[in-house]
């Protein structure tokens, strides 16, 4: 079959019977630790998704320039000076537009 031994071993390791997320994996006599406790995703919670949707809706209400500045500053991690150079305005203008955009988001979000 011309398949590497490592690939076969990896495939065989992947074959396991499914288990329930409610399956206990540890018990110290008083408390159980379940599979769910070991694989919980703390980032993708209902609160995270709700906040993300609210932020997206608030961002839609900003002007194009404000959205661009907020995206570059907070999602791309750029400095005000970098953003200013990229879009051709002064750092002071970036600072002012950023401040106004954040105020607007806070009003919409709260």
Domain architecture of the chain: domains with CATH? 5-39 (no CATH), 53-109 (1.10.10.10)
Per-residue pLDDT of the chain (110 residues; tens, 9 = 90+): 788 988 888 888 888 788 888 888 888 888 888 887 777 677 777 888 888 888 889 999 999 999 999 999 999 999 999 999 999 999 999 999 999 999 999 888 77
How far, in Å, CA of 8 to CA of 56, rounded? 45
Give which of 73, 56, 76 is closest to 65, Cα–Cα: 73
């Amino acid at each position: 079959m011309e398949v590497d031994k490592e690939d076969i071993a990896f495939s065989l390791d992947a074959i396991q019977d499914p288990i329930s997320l409610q399956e206990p994996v540890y018990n110290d006599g008083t408390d159980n630790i379940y599979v769910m406790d070991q694989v919980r995703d703390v980032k993708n919670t209902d609160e995270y998704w709700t906040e993300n949707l609210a932020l997206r809706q608030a961002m839609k209400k900003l002007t194009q320039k404000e959205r661009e500045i907020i995206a570059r500053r907070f999602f791309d991690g750029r400095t005000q000076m970098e953003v200013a150079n990229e879009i051709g305005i002064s750092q002071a203008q970036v600072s002012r537009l950023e401040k106004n955009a954040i105020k607007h988001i806070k009003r919409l979000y709260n």
